[in-house]
Amino acid sequence: MKAELMQYSPELDIELDNIERILWRHEAEEGPALVVFAGIHGNELAGIYACKKISYTLSKMKDRLMGSVYMISGNRQAIKKGVRYLDRDLNRIWGELSEQPDDSRTDGATEWSEAYDIFQLVNAIIDKHQKLGQSIKFIDLHTTSAESCAFIPFNDTLENRRSAALFPVPQILGIEESIHGTLLSFINDLGYPAIGFEAGGHTDPQAEERMEAFLWLYLHFAQIINLRLEEMHRYESVLETIPEVPDQYYEITYHHFVDDARKFIMKKGYRNFDVIKEGELLAYENKEPVYAPSSGLIFMPLYQQKGNDGFFILKGRSPFWLEMSSIFRDSMVNNYLHLLPGVKRISPGSFTVDLTIARFFVKEIFHLLGYRVIRKNVHTLNCFKR
């Protein structure tokens, strides 16, 4: 995989064995700051190559940059080996790190040293730019094991929605309810906007091209560079998806968690956003068939032997629903939620829902009002204001 990707950018001389933590940086006196993460998963190199390629051009136009840019590499030890991770998935451990932000961990996972390093760097960047009153935004670059068009996953905050909506690709809402401990959630919880960008299949040459297009456009939308109209259109056309996958909002309605990826075999040939029907045979797990529990669009089917997410099922969300949800988010309705049957207020902004009492559309109502809904057990939901 490493060798294949290398061919896409033969002019770049990148030593994967010893990749630097800061791939590139430009610190400006004024203007916004953009922080880009690449290679948080060690077998996803398209982001690293795109950063390197773009930074080469940015270096030559430094005097025209109207803000600061930091490009940061992720799991350097996994990059060296060409694998997703060595001991722990670097994109699943941030919840633990924020609960206990010191280096006293004893499980011996290689990834902690990477995480502390990035943690300190992020804190230093925030410190510096916050003091100067400058805005700080984050993006995290990835690719997928299945073939895919580009898409943007993000935690559903209004600010993230605004950033994501600028790009002509599908937008995946509420990923934080299914996947815990991601870098995006960690940054969002610090109070800064952070969206992901998934550029396509790990070894798809187009993925690197899409990464570059996305980065140029983001730099433009963040007002760090100025693209000409025709440049903008050119990059947008690189990102554009196939007609069967409209660039609308999607929400995760089902997450198939996998204990041991080596015992999970996804049926061949699924691409992200392929239509599936309820009852369709999707995979085998521990030699038992796995059928689709509902109809929808298949998302991130697992075609590698590492990771805990077998597949997701998505449903499209209408623009009307989104409009409604941004209107209701800060409305008075929030003050009366505890009056709904089965709903109990625990603290301001946090509720539990007893599903044996509240059966109808509870999750939808809380989503509409901007709550993160996490299933505590069969009968209880926990809902937190984002």
Residues contributing to the site for Zn ion (CB under 5 A) = 41, 44, 142
- Asked if residues 233 and 240 have their Cβ atoms less than 8 Å apart, the reply is no
CB neighbours (10 Å) of residue 379?
Answer: 12
| Cβ(168)–Cβ(189) below 8 Å | no
Which of 41/210 has CB closer to Zn ion? Answer: 41
How many residues are present in the chain? 386
Cβ-contact 38, 143 below 8 angstroms: no
Q: Residue 189 is encoded by which pair of tokens?
A: 């919880």
CB 9 within 8 A of CB 18: no
41 versus 92: smaller Cβ distance to Zn ion: 41
| Whether 39 contacts 74, CB under 8 Å | yes
Nearest to Zn ion of 44, 204 (CB atom): 44
In this structure, what DSSP letter does residue 109 have?
-
Q: Tell me whether residue 251 or residue 309 sits nearer to Zn ion (CB atom).
A: 309
Provide the minimum distance between the beta carbon of 39 and Zn ion in the complex, in angstroms, as a whole number.
9
Q: How far is the CB of 337 from Zn ion (least distance, A)?
A: 35
Could you give the CA distance from residue 195 to residue 222 in angstroms, rounded to a whole number? 13
Question: Residue 207 or residue 224: which is nearer to Zn ion going by CB?
Answer: 207
Sheet of strand 343-347: strand arrangement: 343-347, 350-354, 380-385, 371-377
Of 44 and 208, the one with the shorter C-beta distance to Zn ion is 44
Distance in Å, CB of 45 to Zn ion, minimum = 11
Rounded to the nearest whole angstrom, what is the least distance from the CB of residue 41 to Zn ion in the complex? 4
Spatial strand order in the sheet of 22-26: 22-26, 68-73, 33-38, 136-144, 194-201
Smallest gap, in angstroms, from Cβ of residue 48 to Zn ion?
12
Q: How far is the CB of 300 from Zn ion (least distance, A)?
A: 10
Q: Of 76 and 142, which CB lies nearer to Zn ion in the complex structure?
A: 142
Task: Using the minimum distance from each CB to Zn ion, give the nearer residue, 129 or 142.
Answer: 142
| DSSP symbols for 188-209 | HHHT--EEEEEEEETT-HHHHH
Q: Which residue is nearest to Zn ion (CB)?
A: 142
* DSSP bridge partners of 350: 347, 384
Largest CA distance in the chain: 63
